[in-house]
């Protein structure tokens, strides 16, 4: 479903004399099979967001090749957008001043979703995520938890095969977090949606991800199951400790 083959992305920073090249991602390769739920971990600045942006077609890689849902993200960006869902925890893709319902109607048009499919999915998601109470509220007046539920709905209305989540639980309270995790687990189990999730929250990883990939300094430092990850630490310890050891190593 996602194929990343020896991908690199560098940025030139500074002007003239102070110019240098930063390698945000270097020689990155991995494959994600359909139906997998993968956690993508890494310290700040390790290249997580750069990877996500390359997978979604926002950034072009400087070397290597990527295929997501069978498409080259940079060349077929708009076609890919119809097959994947993307959620950024730190910013909304909804229209700030519009009621949620209007944002969803726009998305229906942009993604060319049939009216009956749209109604069915929206009804489903409204129930699962409890959107009914704030469907007519402008997005700017929603709480963070409500807005995130709106963003997730927006990303799923076109029934994407892959869902990419960039820190979806950041800033959420324990109840909202639990509800969000429950929803994502069911989405993956019932619909078989492939999910790739970045997070700094080890709870997300322990509760959701069967597979964990860890990126550091732009390349994979670990790729395996949750149990394999635990086994890297000699005497057990919490997930935070296990991961912190890998970050610094």
Partner 1 sequence: MVRTYLLLAWTWLRASAQYPGSLIMMMLGSFAVNALDVAAIWVIFEHTESLGGFELAEVMFLYGTAGLSFALADMLFGNVDRLSQHIRSGDFDTMLIRPASAFTQMAVDRFGVHRFGRVTQAAVVLAIALPQLGLSWSRTWMIPLMVVCGLVIFAAIFTLGGAMQFLLTDAPEVANAFTYGGGTLTQYPLSIYGSELVKGVTFVVPLAFVNWQPALFVLDRDDPLGLPYWLRFASPLAAVALTTVAALAWRAGIRRYRSTGS
Binding site for partner 1 (CB under 8 A): 11, 45, 49, 53, 56-60, 74, 77-79, 81-82, 86, 88, 90-93, 95-98, 102, 106, 109-112, 138
CB of 228 to partner 1, least distance (A): 29
Q: Pick the closest to residue 55 from 37, 71, 35 (CA basis).
A: 71
Closer by beta carbon to partner 1, 78 or else 248: 78
**Closer Cβ to partner 1, 4 or 52, answer by number:** 52
For 29, the 3-state DSSP assignment is: strand
**Helices 144-156, 174-186: inter-axial angle, 10-degree rounding:** 10
Residue 88 or 134: the one with the smaller Cβ distance to partner 1 is 88
Nearer to partner 1, 39 or 89 (CB): 89
- How far apart are CB 89 and partner 1 at their closest, in Å? 10
Query: Judged by CB, which is closer to partner 1: 82, or 230?
Result: 82
What gap in Å lies between CA 223 and CA 213, rounded to an integer? Answer: 4
DSSP letters along 202-231, please?
Answer: HHHHHHH-SEEEEEETTEEEEEEEHHHHHH
Cα separation, 105 vs 154, in Å, equals 10
Query: In the complex, what is the shortest distance from the CB of residue 43 to partner 1, in angstroms, rounded to a whole number?
Result: 14
**In whole angstroms, how close is the CB of 55 to partner 1 at the nearest point?**
11
Question: To the nearest whole angstrom, how small is the minimum distance from the Cβ of residue 102 to partner 1?
Answer: 7
Say how far apart CA 221 and CA 215 lie, in whole Å.
5
CB 64 within 8 A of CB 77: no
Structure tokens at 148: 């995130």
Kindly state the smallest distance separating residue 175's Cβ from partner 1, in Å. 26
Instruction: Output 78 or 115, the one with its CB closest to partner 1.
Output: 78
Evaluate whether 220 touches 56 at the Cβ level (below 8 Å). no
């Amino acid at each position: 479903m996602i194929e990343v083959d020896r991908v690199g992305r560098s940025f030139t920073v500074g002007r003239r004399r102070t110019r240098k090249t930063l390698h945000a991602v270097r020689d990155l390769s991995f494959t994600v099979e359909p139906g997998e739920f993968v956690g993508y971990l890494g310290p700040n600045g390790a290249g997580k967001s750069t990877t996500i942006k390359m997978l979604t077609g926002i950034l072009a890689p400087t070397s290597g090749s990527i295929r997501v849902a069978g498409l080259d993200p940079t060349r077929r960006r708009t076609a890919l957008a119809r097959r994947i869902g993307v959620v950024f925890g730190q910013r909304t893709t909804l229209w700030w001043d519009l009621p949620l319902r209007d944002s969803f109607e726009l998305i229906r048009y942009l993604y060319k979703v049939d009216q009956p499919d749209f109604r069915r999915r929206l009804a489903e998601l409204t129930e699962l995520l409890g959107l009914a109470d704030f469907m007519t509220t402008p997005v700017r007046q929603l709480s963070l938890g409500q807005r995130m539920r709106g963003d997730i709905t927006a990303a799923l209305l076109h029934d994407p095969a892959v869902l990419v989540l960039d820190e979806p639980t950041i800033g959420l309270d324990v109840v909202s977090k639990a509800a969000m995790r429950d929803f994502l687990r069911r989405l993956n189990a019932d619909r078989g949606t492939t999910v790739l999730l970045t997070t700094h929250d080890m709870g997300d990883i322990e509760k959701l991800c069967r597979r964990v990939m860890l990126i550091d300094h732009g390349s994979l430092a670990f790729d395996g199951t949750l149990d394999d990850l635990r086994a890297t630490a000699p005497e057990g310890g919490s997930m935070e400790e296990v991961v912190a050891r890998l970050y610094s190593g």
